[in-house]
Amino acid sequence: MRNLIFFLYKYYTFLLFFALEMFSFIVLYRYNNYQKANFLNFTGGVASQFYETVNNTTNYFSLREINDSLMSENARLRGQMLNAYYSDGFTQTSINDTFYKQQYSYISANVVNNSVTLRNNYITIDKGALHGIKPDMGVISSNGVVGIVTSVSNHFSTIRSALNSNTKISCMIKKNNAFGSLEWNGDDPTYSSLKYVNKHVPVTSNDEIVTSNYSTLFPQGISVGKVYSHSIEADENFHTIKVELHTNFSELKNVYVIRNILKEEQQALEALNKSDN
């Protein structure tokens, strides 16, 4: 109590000045409409700016959660696209009944490690066996093909990137369905090569390259890139095709792992034919 009395005695001049100032402001803004309106506009603007700052900050820290939600939704929608289904139908006289069953589903994941400067590049993602991922699953991004799953732990998976000399992906020229093998030569991460396209097939610059139906890893029609340049050597039977990739591997953040629901059935059937050889 003694300290409080000493404090009031020491600063009573300032406290009296402050009290009179507050009283003056109250009288000024309460009984003068113009000043009152200006004061309300000012405080309203300050409050609005404050809440906007708080909202922007909150949204920023929620971006990861929002992004994961969008990735999951995109994976669900990709699973509903027509190329995620196979046609099981028949034609009889004038009746054409087609039934579609889902063949592909998609698992969204985030890239946690990536390389683009090596001859054999790999990517690590934050989803694994607990999320349904297995080796030899295809991987794509929103722009195009990414690679093939090689190893899986409970929570992580490694992907053999399309920028890997050992990666071979069955692709085709979209306009004429001429198929070949996408293989990287270890040089520029923005380009790859489409090999084994017969020289009799017409090829022009900017032709779209997509995945073919000769692979159990990818649905047909997934974007890969476009023809950047092409040539035919006199003694060769195939085009030399340089493909500009749609996927920017140096900025890769999110991917989709493809699960082919009918893969085991197809491979089991094809294994029977191999046993005869």
Per-residue model confidence as pLDDT tens digits over 202-230: 999 999 999 998 888 999 999 999 999 99
Per-residue model confidence as pLDDT tens digits over 99-157: 456 788 889 899 999 999 999 999 999 999 999 999 999 999 988 999 999 999 999 99
The predicted pLDDT at position 170 comes to 95
Cβ-contact 196, 183 below 8 angstroms: no
Confidence of residue 21 (pLDDT cuts 50, 70, 90): confident
Report the C-alpha gap between 193 and 71 in whole angstroms: 30
Report the C-alpha gap between 109 and 186 in whole angstroms: 26
What average pLDDT is seen over the chain? 80
Percent of residues, the chain, with pLDDT higher than 90? 45
Q: Is the pLDDT of residue 93 over 60?
A: no
The predicted pLDDT at position 150 comes to 95
Of 79, 230, 209, residue with least CA distance to 144: 209
The predicted pLDDT at position 50 comes to 61
- Determine the number of helices (DSSP H) and then strands (DSSP E) in the chain: 4, 16
Report the C-alpha gap between 210 and 169 in whole angstroms: 10
CA distances from 234 to 181, 203, 239, 240 (A): 21, 16, 10, 11
DSSP string, 68-128: HHHHHHHHHHHTTSGGGEEE--EEETTEEE--EEE-EEEEEEEEEEE--SSSEEEEEES--
Query: 28 Cβ partners below 8 Å, 6+ apart?
Result: 35
Domain 82-89+98-271: give its CATH code.
2.40.10.340
Confidence of residue 193 (pLDDT cuts 50, 70, 90): very high
Q: Where are the domains of the chain?
A: 2-61, 82-89+98-271
